[in-house]
């Protein structure tokens, strides 16, 4: 086993340990009010997709959204089908961010071409 394989396995182990601790923390934090709030936000299919997109825009990371939702499912706060809707919405969140940044850079450059960083 090479050094890179050990590094990958170690990183995967740390990742899984982090997910485990996040899930356990959510189980301890999860009161009835948090469960009700999440059920209200992601109760329907469309609301789950929209909330996934909005959360992704807020945190600027579809990966963070996906990992958070996986932890919510593991903690029993949302169902699997609700989580699928949120994850689908998370894939729609990043494009508006990039479009907003691109338009702002084009306007700032003044010549119709994107400004260099």
Going from the C-alpha of 92 to that of each of 2, 14, 26, 34, 51, the distances in angstroms are 38, 28, 26, 25, 11
Please state the pTM of the whole predicted model. 0.63
The pLDDT of residue 82: 92
Neighbours of 91 (CB within 10 A): 15
Residues 35-67 have pLDDT tens digits of 888 888 898 889 999 999 888 888 888 888 888
Residues 61-89 have pLDDT tens digits of 888 888 889 888 888 888 999 999 999 99
Q: Are 7 and 55 in contact (CB under 8 A)?
A: no
Over residues 85-108, mean pLDDT: 70
Over residues 94-100, mean pLDDT: 61
pLDDT, greater one: 80 or 25:
80
Every domain of the chain and the residues it spans:
3-109
Q: Are 73 and 79 in contact (CB under 8 A)?
A: yes
Backbone φ/ψ region at 76: left (φ over 0), alpha (ψ -120 to 50), beta: left
- pLDDT at 97 exceeding the cut of 60: no
Over residues 13-37, mean pLDDT: 79
């Amino acid at each position: 086993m090479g050094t890179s394989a050990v590094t990958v396995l170690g990183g995967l182990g740390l990742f899984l340990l982090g997910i485990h601790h996040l899930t356990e923390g959510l189980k301890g934090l999860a009161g009835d009010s948090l469960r009700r709030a999440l059920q209200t936000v992601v109760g329907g299919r469309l609301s789950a997709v929209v909330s996934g997109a909005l959360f992704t825009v807020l945190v600027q990371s579809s990966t963070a959204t996906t990992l958070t939702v996986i932890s919510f499912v593991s903690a029993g706060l949302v169902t699997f089908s609700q989580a699928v809707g949120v994850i689908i919405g998370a894939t729609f969140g990043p494009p508006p961010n990039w479009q907003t940044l691109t338009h702002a850079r084009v306007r700032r450059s003044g010549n119709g071409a994107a400004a260099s960083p």
